[in-house]
Chain A
Amino acid sequence: MEGRSRPEPWPGATEGAPVVETRALTKRFGGQLAVDGLDLVVPRGSVFGFLGPNGSGKTTTIRMLMGLIEPTSGTARVLGEEMPRGTRRVLPRVGALIEGPALYGFLSGRDNLTRFDAADPTADARTRRARVGHALDRVGLTGAAGKKARAYSLGMKQRLGLAAALLQPRELLVLDEPTNGLDPQGMREIRTLVRSLASEGTTVFLSSHLLDEIEQVCTHVAVMARGRLLIQGTVGELASSARGRLAVTTPDTAEAVRVLKEHGVNDLAVLDDRVTGELPAGPATELADLNAALVRADVRVRAFGAERASLEDAFVALTGEGFDVAG
């Protein structure tokens, strides 16, 4: 399958050592393989989308990267150090939101952040108050900072969890479904936040089910299913791996079909005055040439264009249509 790539530097990837690099990373829970031989490479400076159906092993992978669970076999390197051995040196430079926020309900939002910050031995106690205030501000929670966390809505909890990840300038942000429970404004804000953090140089590793979201903010993606990595690469590479279709609107459908077939377009279908077909593999076919050929053959073209495959098409093509979670 030409879409699958080996874990080696991709064209266009930011140079420098990868921020996350796993080799044959495997985690077994009892008899079940939750993560199976994962070779993941997250380039520095990327916004990396981590996709996969429910139960495909995303959170388990993230837990191994954060040193919360020990791999059954294989290695995980984060910021150049092997986990979980390097937690003490690595994690102060990493902000993380793992499987939803977890808060002390009896503490206010501000006190929750103060507590998490106090747990970081590298955090300066003198700047704590200011940093907590800044993090609250960044997620739009300043107004609710004094409220007890148990009185927070799901979205507010999610924001507070994000704020905890932003208490310090980070080299890497790991966000496991960060927009879960957020309202549309909240989602937009998170996207804006992710973009601005990325532009400041933070690498963002983002797991999500929301494909538009990934498409909108990510530069790279990896897709998991049943614990295995199916593909990783740039968003463009993945979307083009599910090849787009050419669509021509014309009254002269029969002639158009003939010309397109001659030029190697497959799987042609005609519906009313629309002819669609699958573009041939490889970048060789120039759309402008196809259009010129149609015009030369006196096909009256009303509309012409390639319908880009969405990430969703690519995702479903990779992971299958089924709704049932793999056991």
Chain B
Amino acid sequence: MSRAEAAPAGATAVPASAAARRWGLSLLISEVTTTFRRWRTLALLGVLAAVPVLIGIAVKIETGDDGAHGGGGPAFISQVTNNGLFLVFTSLAATLPFFLPMAIGVIAGDSVAGEAGSGTLRYLLVAPAGRTRLLFAKYATTMAFCFAATLVVAVSALAVGALLFPLGEVTLISGTTIGFGEGLLRALAIAVVVALSLVGVAALGLFVSTLTNSGVAAMATTVGLLITVQILDQFPQLSAIQPYLFPHYWLSFADLLRDPVLWDQVLRNLGLQALYAAVFGSAAWARFTAKDITV
């Protein structure tokens, strides 16, 4: 009896490889839906969506003022009154230094540590999710959040820009003028580059997350590191190390608004992000696959 019952249960444990891949997708889908159903995630996205609204209203009220408030970013803000599309660039430039990476830090920092703290990690691991696969799903979900967060800022800015300001041809930084359609495409490209700029912080946050069993501690550490690095990036005395700091080339996305596009800094940024993803991704993997799960 016991043998007869046991055999089919054992047989299901060795699935075909194609099927296994599909079921690996199950975990990823579960991870993404679980993350995006949390109130906290929605609140973060809500705050990010509010930023363009605030900037848009401020610009509308102070139409005469041409000062650049773009968080130290490129001076797109003066163009917003002429073309609502510039609110997208302004908003991305305003949120990229802190708001966006902070939101990523919260999600990435909590991803492993939060589950460890609540104990659900041990049940995922005995399911068995597989440590490498779980970490991959966590990182992929954080990346999905990077794109979602960037998209939320961009779409909110586009909507507010269209409501409050005229839309039309876009005058690039280099002085050439392109049609609105191409302007939209460039905005999309910029959003993608901004989202990819967050790959490094995401990997850093994931690594920090594997170090502790407290989600709050991991979030705070990641955000603290972000702020520290942003400050270090401001000191001229540290110019030797600055090219290796992950936010160093962040605002280079403005180069996509030139004709021809200046790829140099953009590519440098993406390369640096890939480097951070590789280094901290490996560190997170090494740590997580060897970790004793004692809570």
Q: In chain A, what residue has the closest Cβ to B6?
A: A171
| Contacting residues, chain B, for A16 (C-beta < 8 A) | 2-3
The contact of A89 among B3, B5, B13, by CB within 8 Å, is B13
Contact size range, A: 35 or more
- Taking a contact as CB atoms closer than 8 A, the residue among B13, B34, B290 that contacts A122 in the complex is B13
User: Whole-angstrom distance from the CB of A155 to the nearest CB of chain B?
Assistant: 17
- Closest chain-A Cβ to B122's Cβ sits at a distance in Å of 6
- B125 contacts A121, CB within 8 Å? no
Q: Which of B126-134, B174-182, B238-246, B262-270 contacts A (4 or more CB under 8 A)?
A: B126-134
Bound form: Cα–Cα A115–B118 in Å: 15
Which one of B20-28, B53-61, B100-108, B144-152 contacts A?
B20-28
In the complex, what residues of B have CB within 8 A of residue A201's CB? 1-6
A130 to B125, CA, bound (A): 23
Interface residues of B, CB < 8 Å — how many?
43
- B123/A125 in contact, CB under 8 A: no
How many A-B residue pairs have C-beta atoms within 8 angstroms? Tell me. Answer: 134
Which label, helix, strand, loop or mixed, suits the secondary structure of the A interface? loop
Cβ contact within 8 Å between A121 and B20: yes
In the bound complex, residues from chain A placing their C-beta under 8 Å from that of B22 are: 125
Task: List A164-215 residues whose CB lies under 8 Å from chain B.
Answer: 164, 168-171, 200-203
Q: In the docked arrangement, what's the CA distance between A169 and B7, Å?
A: 11
Report chain B residues within 8 Å CB of A115.
30, 34
Give the distance in Å from the alpha carbon of A96 to the alpha carbon of B13 in the complex: 16
**Among candidates B8, B120, B133, residue contacting A104 with C-beta atoms closer than 8 Å:** B120
Interface majority SS on B: helix, strand, loop or mixed?
Answer: helix
Min C-beta distance of A178 to chain B, whole Å: 14
Interchain CB contact under 8 A, A68 and B13: no
Across the interface, which residues of A come within 8 angstroms of B120, CB to CB? 102-104
Tell me the residues in window 240-295 of chain B with beta carbons closer than 8 Å to chain A beta carbons: 290, 292-294
User: Does A87 sit within 8 A of B, measured CB to CB?
Assistant: yes
Asked if B15 contacts A118 (CB within 8 A), the reply is no
Q: Which of A44, A119, A124, A171 contacts B30 (CB 8 A)?
A: A119
Does A153 belong to the interface (CB within 8 Å)?
Answer: no
A121's contact among B5, B122, B126, B130, by CB below 8 Å, is which? B130
A104 with B292: in contact, given A44-B2, A122-B23, A168-B9 (CB under 8 Å)?
A: no
Q: Are B12 and A125 in contact (CB under 8 A)?
A: no
B127 nearest in chain A by CB position: A119
Binary flags per residue of A83-116, CB closer than 8 Å to B gives 1, else 0? 0000111111110101110111111000000111
Residue positions of B touching A, CB distance < 8 A: 1-6, 8-10, 12-15, 20, 22-24, 26-27, 29-30, 34, 37-39, 118-120, 122-130, 133-134, 290, 292-294
